[in-house]
Every structure is written in C-alpha cells, then in structure tokens.
Amino acid sequence: MSPAKKSVKTSVKKSVKPPASPFYEVRRSKIQGRGAFAILPIRKGKKIDEYWGKRITHDEADRRYDDSEARHHTFLFVLDDDTVLDARYGGNDARFINHSCDPNCETVIEHGHIWIKAMKAITPETELTYDYRFEWQDDYEPEDVRYYACRCGAKKCRGTILRIPVYLRATIKQWLAGNDVPVPKKPKKGAKKVVKKVVKKVVR
C-alpha cells in the first residue's frame, strides 16, 4: 500500500486589480492611439481616477525603456525622487489619458498616490487630457525635441510634451520647424534683468 500523500497548502499572492472609474471609457483618439473619454458629467475639482502601475526605481525605468524606440513611452509616471510607476504592469485605464498643452485635467500626488483631477467642468464625449510636462534635460538636441513632438491640436500647443525653460522657447520653436539653430547661453540663477526706465518729457 502506497503511503498517503500529504496535502500541502501553498499561499499564492493575488494581485490587486485596479477599480474601474465610472467617469470615462477608452476609445480611439485623434491625439494618439487610444484615449479616455468622459461618459458622465464631471465637475471641476473631481478626482476622476488614480494612476496605477508597478512601483520601480528610476534606474529600473531607464533599464526597461530608452529613447531608441520609434515613439516615446508614456506609461511611466514619476511619483517621487525614488519611485516611478510603470503602468505597463498592473496599470489601469488612466494610462490611456493623453497629453494636451491645454488640458482639462491635472495630476495631483497625495500620500504616495497619483490622482487625475478635473481642472474644469467636463461634459460627456469630451476627451480627458493633462499636461505630461516631461522634464527638460540640458543635453537635449533638436532631434530629441522632435522625438517628443506634441499632436494635441490645441491652440495653445507648444509643439512638444516637454516642459520647456522660458529662455529656450524661441529656440525650441525653431527646432520644431526644422531649423537647428544653436542653443542660447543659459542664464545664471538669480540674475536680474536690467530694466530701462523710460522717462516721458512733459512738454508745456
């Protein structure tokens, strides 16, 4: 008679599935790929959804993704100096909310969580957007800026999803137009602009 087999219980960690937001659904977008569209009226200040994703380090994010792909990767979201959320793993539909230079939403970080919040009242069928504001790097060249080109179509579109320093705005506009003009000298921190006062002569 064969010995009885022991019943061994194995503990399996169940991954937590992000809850679905009732305020929007994902459809094809004119901006890029898929986008999030309101299906209910959303009041100003309403938290629409939380941005979910696997928490990784910045070094791991750099290892997983680089800028050699044909298009930039937008599923990474910086939480703080140590942590990045990678929505490709464990992410929810918030990862499909597209960028716009004239957005109707904003992102708010509270107690280690990233929330998508309405900046204004949003009507059904409107695409939800927020400004990605990708961090500017001083070693960026014209091809890097064009790599991060914006196609939001807004009247206020700055042409790129990068957050451009004020002193470079005119230069970046030239780069996006295909004119690779040199980068102006970076102003020193704390440098004050010299303002010439115009004194009007009073003619009597």
Give the Cα separation of 65 and 183 in Å (integer).
27
Check if 132 is active-site: yes
Give the Cα separation of 99 and 74 in Å (integer).
9
Give the Cα separation of 22 and 145 in Å (integer).
36
* Structure-block tokens of residue 146: 């064009």
Catalytic residue among 24, 51, 130, 148: 51
Check if 51 is active-site: yes
Catalytic residue among 24, 132, 140, 148: 132
Active site residues: 51, 132
